[in-house]
Each structure stands twice: as structure tokens, then as C-alpha cells.
Structure 1
Amino acid sequence: MTEEEILHSHFGEWGSMRRDYLRRTQPEEWARMVREGIAEQYLRDYDDVVYDQFVQMTEEACRRDGVTEELKKRDVMKWIRAYNSVLAEVREILRYEVMPPIEEAPM
């Protein structure tokens, strides 16, 4: 797959995010992966692994915060707010893992 094809392909939320991060922050590594033909599979595998983490972390956070089917039956609006909060928390944690902040060089 050419770099152009990779750039126009969707690798899931996490794989696509990782692709963009690597291109921006590690262009030499990205170019090597494309040249060696491993970028596509890397991004697909990466998305699978992070998605599995997302599901596991979401389930754990729901248990921790009491976001249960019982709550959903009792008060659906409260459940929606709580579930959305869990999703935002987990996405933020994983986003940091997928795209760690870039250290700015002192001026």
C-alpha cells in the first residue's frame, strides 16, 4: 500500500489517530514503516489493541462509578450523563497514550 493510499484509508479511531501522530512527530520512523510495507498492518493491529483496552477500561470505569443496567432502568438520563462521563475519561486517557504530548524545546 502506498503512503497516499494509507493516508486515505480509515484504520479505526485509534489507528487513524496514531497514523497522524506518527507522521507529525516521527516522520523518519513513519517513512521507514511505509517503505518497508509494515505501516498498514501496524495501524490495523494498533487499532485492535487500543480498542480492546478502550472496552476493558470502559467496563471497569462503569463498575467503579456504578454505571449499571439498574441505573439505566431507574434513571436513564442520569445513566446517559454518567456513561458519557466514563467514555470521555477513558478516551482522554487513551488519547494520551496514543498521542503523548510533544515536549517543547526551550527558547
Structure 2
Amino acid sequence: MKKHIYDESNGLSYRLHGDYYLPDLAVNEEEPTYGKYGMLRKQFLKEHKPARYQYLLMTGKLTGHLNQVDQDVREKVETLVKQIAEKHGVTEELKMQDQMKWVGLMNNIKVCAEEIVLKEIIYM
């Protein structure tokens, strides 16, 4: 039996392991460039959507997907924080008058915005 064969119908090469030919597959080991939200999405996919995770990993689209999710979540959180702060009257004037109150309100607003976006984008 040949040690290596190539199947033109699917474009894969196979290597003989014992009595079986197994495809020569390699995972592209590139440095992840995604941030916090990309990591959260990756963990969610691994635990709750393993088939989708494996598909993205094997096709080499995982890092791109995670980068896109990370960017989308950051933009959405930033937009929501601005909208919620404006709605609740958290302004630069308040920051000048009572900085600790402003920090507390902004932290609360950011946590709320993140929670909303995590449910809409990450955990879908």
C-alpha cells in the first residue's frame, strides 16, 4: 500500500496509518488577535456550539469570526454607553461637580450595556 495518496475529487491528501488512510489536516496556529469579547465568544462556541466551533476552526475562519465579533461588540457597547449616559443625564458637567458619582454611574452604565450586548451577540 502507498504511504501517501491524493484524492482529486476533494483536494485532500491522505497518509497511511496502520490499515487506514487518514487525511493530512493541519490547524493554522496563528496568534489570536481578538480581545475580551472574542475570547468570550470562543468559549461559548466551544461549550455550547461545538459543531460551529469545529467548522470555523477547520476552515480557518475562527480568528476572523472572533475578531469581527470583538469589533462589533466594542462598537455596540460604546454606542449604548453614550445613549444610556445621555438618557440618564450623566454629563461632563456632572463629572466636574461630583467625580465619584460620575464614575459610579458610568461603571454601572457600562456593565448594563455589556450585559445587553453579550446576550445579543456573544451568546447567540
Query: How does the TM-score come out when normalised to structure 1?
Result: 0.82
Q: Secondary structure at the match of 2:60?
A: coil
Segments of 4+ in structure 1 off by > 3 A?
none
Structure showing the higher helix proportion among its residues: 1
Q: Is the 8 A contact 1:10 1:16 kept in 2?
A: no
Q: Which runs of 5+ in 2 are unaligned?
A: 1-25
Q: Structure 1 residue aligned with 2:123, among 90, 99, 103?
A: 99
Figure out how many residues of one structure are paired with residues of the other and give that number.
98
Q: Which runs of 5+ in 1 are unaligned?
A: 101-107
Q: Is the 8 A contact 1:58 1:86 kept in 2?
A: yes
Structure showing the higher strand proportion among its residues: 2
Q: Structure 1 residue aligned with 2:86, among 45, 48, 63?
A: 63
Cα distance in 1 for partners of 2:42, 2:69 equals 10
**Alignment of structure 1 residues 69-80 onto 2, 5 Å:** 69-80=92-103
CA drift at 1:9: 3.2
Q: Is the 8 A contact 2:33 2:63 kept in 1?
A: no
Q: Secondary structure at the match of 1:11?
A: coil
RCO greater where, 1 or 2, for CA within 8 Å and sep 6 or more? Answer: 1
Query: How does the TM-score come out when normalised to structure 2?
Result: 0.72
Cα distance in 2 for partners of 1:85, 1:69 equals 16
**Alignment of structure 1 residues 37-56 onto 2, 5 Å:** 37-56=60-79
The 1:2/1:65 distance shift into structure 2, 3 A limit, reads farther
CA drift at 1:10: 5.2
